Structure 1
Amino acid sequence: MYCPPAFRVEELASLHGLMRAARLANVVTFGANGLHASPLPLFLDEKEGPFGTLYGHFARANAQWKDTPLSDALAIFMGPDAYVSPSWYASKKEHGKVVPTWNYSAVHARGPIEFFDDEARLRDVVERLTNLHEAERPEVWSVSDAPAPFLRGQLRGIIGLRLPITGLEGKNKMSQNRSAADRAGVAEGMAGSSHASERAVAGKIQVE
């Protein structure tokens, strides 16, 4: 990932925070039939390995896991993103030398991907994913709420994945390369947007 120093994220806690906030990742692999990519919910076990380990699952019918050798995979986590209009820059009125760009956050996690279909491990992954995303709901659904025979059938339809992270790259492009006046203009312009992602980006821009 191209990442100028002004946008680079290097602190492990910050990288993990961006990954947790993204909630969904694109898992990219290369096999005999070429490139594959699947959007998957993953959870991060921060205590397993120097950079953490990712867990999730594929549908058993998904050809990606069948066509992927036990080699490196790439998990791409994207945060909120937004188009940046030059009209928001204070410097537009001063000299007009401005162009559009895009603000966004992204983390690339790579490592050797592994697959498993042991029922106990699969259930653990499903439970951990479910608990993670149900935690803030007023009425929490638990995996144990489903009938046991039905659950066993569902687990037979998936393949678990484990990705111990060996490399992390993070980028947080939020107009850091612009003047304080330009950043303030971008934040103000995005804050009034009808797009939720643009409003989210507005809150991440440091205006002072």
Structure 2
Amino acid sequence: MRLTKYGHACVRIETDQGAIVIDPGVFSDPAALDGADAVFVTHQHPDHCNDPELRLLLEERPEARIYGPEAITAVLGDLPFTAVSGGDTVPAAGTEVKAIGRHHAVIHPDLPTIANTGYLVDGVFHPGDSLTVPDTPVRTLLLPIAAPWLKLAEAIDYARAVDAETVHPIHDAILSPEGITITDRFLGQILGDRYQRIENGHTATI
């Protein structure tokens, strides 16, 4: 598989049989959706779910499929999608996508907790906005590193709990270039060589 980062939390996973996109949000490059066969949305926040771009995708490729928790109806409205929740498995692009988890991480007790579904694709796990630890081995973790609901110590502990062979940082659009450098340095010191940044627009072979 080929894994390309398209900004913030958006990644595109390509197999020999098609392309899967996870979390194309407003901070992501819309090019991620070009020719996509399936789109998986972890939750309804705009940095993960860009309604206008998803509508354009279905206009150009009506055969494409969108998946996500039922709550993304609040954003997508009448746009057709298939609701998934933790435990579901969806065939896509010649492989299987397993839905894992049900809840967004707590931002603050005074704010409601919304639905969030992470996705495991052939050992690659995208947790969305959660710290859910899958009950199955993970080869590659897409690790959120900066968010209103997250501090760096929690990201480190989460990476250790998942214990993946490779860790690629995501969810970093709110960091300045200097902030990314500092954060990467700390994570690299603690996680070692398994911590590997994929720059936006670049591809890693999984």
Same fold (TM over 0.5): no
**1 or 2 for the larger relative contact order (CA 8 Å, sep ≥6)?**
1
> Which is richer in helix?
1
> Which is richer in strand?
1
TM-score, with length taken from structure 2: 0.26
Q: Which has the higher Rg, Structure 1 or Structure 2?
A: 1
TM-score, with length taken from structure 1: 0.26
